[in-house]
Amino acid sequence: MVSLNFHIKRHILLICIAFSLLLFMFKTIIFFTAKPKVKVNYVAEYNRITRPADYDHNENAAPYYEKAFGAFVLMPNDLKKPYKYWPSDFNSVEQSILEDWLLSNGESFECFRIAAKKPYFWLERWAKENNWVNSILMPDLYQLRLLTEAIMWNAKLNVYNGRIEPAFKNVDVLDCSGSLKCRPALFIMEQYLGIGIKNSASLTAIEILEKVQVDSQALKSFQEKLQRRFDSDRYVPGFEAEKFLLYNAVLRIFIANGRGTGRLAWSVGWYLDTSVGAWENIIRRFRNCLFGPTRRETEHQIEQISVISNWVMGQTPWEIENRRKNPFEKIQAIHESNFLLKLLGLNIKSIFERYHKTRTQTEALIAIVAILRFKNDTNRFPETLEELANTGYLKSVPMDPFSNGSLVYKVSGDNFTLYSVGSDFSDDGGESEDVVHFISIPFWGVGRSIEKPDIVYWPVRKIRKPTDEELRQMRERMMKPFVTGPQRSDPNN
């Protein structure tokens, strides 16, 4: 009897072991082969939220931009030289080439002007890879940058040849074109381009005003147009499209088990960190698949970031700086706690500061026009910005988002200084310093500037070539992300 019971128990134990092994093998197979389920087409969702509610094909700028892009003639190589910012920087032969190039773009510029005056610019986007949101193609962004540069040159050449009114029209067209990309439903990179175009427009206008004397009537007309557009501008950056990108990634890399507790799917490998070795990547992969954040936790964190980001955009940099808890640090902490958000998290601080700097530069431009009008009419500079407002030359005193007061205005002899205290939140006196402009840095091909802490709008600072040591330091800073690993989520970059 004892022997029989022993055999029964042994058989039961063997069955349990066999069952456990089968279960383990089954779960192992599932672990290595389970794939996420993609049930939402976020590319279609993006197209839905960006399409204007009152969409009318005849009011869409897109067809005219496409014509402008198609007719555009690229800048001749003879003009692609560093540290050339004004027609007078070229020799007589190069000036002739510049004028011929701009004339050859007459059709492109005309289509661009028509497009810029339309109420919206909507393109139905499509993804290169199986409705991946982050593979959406946006060739129009590069083409807009090229055309923006060409129209800036057109404005400068008009001024150089004494044609002030067409130059101001070029500036107006650029500002309108930038506004079409300043829509909160668009991707951050699209909004960033729109802000950048508006920044280029106001900076070009300030450079024009520094180069030539403009009569009071032309200044008044230009100022009124600027003021109307500024007053009607309700744009604040938004992040709904970025949420689609993050949710799309969640759908594609997290296992859907119906309870929201699914973790990273082993079969997904695009997220690997190329800055570390293969074994470390495998360890990280196992850790995230077994113990990493769940799908529900990640979605909750995305919503947290969205709520904080949208709240931040309603504040000024000075208000954020003087809070006891920095919201950018909170966003960064959320990024650091989740491998996905660390790689794809929203860079809020960059667009936040760029938005406020560009909006303030527009206000500064309006103030500069008013100051020059006052000087033309009274043969003196106003003593204060309040005097401009009290005498009707300025609608209101422009405020500085980096301080708890107005822009700083000082009169000195036969000139004046107008500046913001900048992102160090400290008044450094507004002393004008040459801007160091970096061009064609290897692997980047973009310009970067090192500026004084104060943002000086007037007088216009001169641009100089960087020294070898400054170039070396800039290369080190720009190559740092490639050394330390993915940095996209760092809001301090």
- For 277-336, the pLDDT digits (tens) are 666 667 777 777 777 888 899 999 999 999 999 999 999 999 999 998 899 999 999 999
Cβ atoms of 152 and 170 closer than 8 Å: yes
Give backbone dihedrals phi and psi of 454, rounded to 5 degrees, phi first: -75, 145
Confidence label for 254 from pLDDT (cuts 50, 70 and 90): confident
In total, the chain counts a number of residues equal to 493
Q: What is the pLDDT of residue 306?
A: 93
- For 10-68, the pLDDT digits (tens) are 666 666 666 665 554 544 454 445 556 667 788 899 999 999 999 999 999 999 999 99
Domain boundaries, the chain: 1-33, 39-212, 240-345, 363-493
Q: Which helix (H) or strand (E) holds 437?
A: strand 435-438
Report how far residue 464's alpha carbon sits from residue 253's, in angstroms, rounded to the nearest whole number: 48
When the pLDDT of each residue in the chain is averaged and rounded to a whole number, the result is: 84
- Who has greater pLDDT, 23 or 75? 75
- Distances 159 to 95, 219, 251, 351, 455 between C-alpha atoms, Å: 13, 14, 54, 32, 25
Mean pLDDT to the nearest integer, 224-234? 95
- For 470-492, the pLDDT digits (tens) are 767 767 766 654 333 333 333 33
DSSP string, 90-120: S-HHHHHHHHHHHHHTHHHHHHHHHHHTSSB
Confidence label for 187 from pLDDT (cuts 50, 70 and 90): very high
Residue 467, pLDDT above cutoff 90: no
Mean pLDDT to the nearest integer, 372-393? 96
- For 332-361, the pLDDT digits (tens) are 999 999 888 888 877 889 999 999 999 999
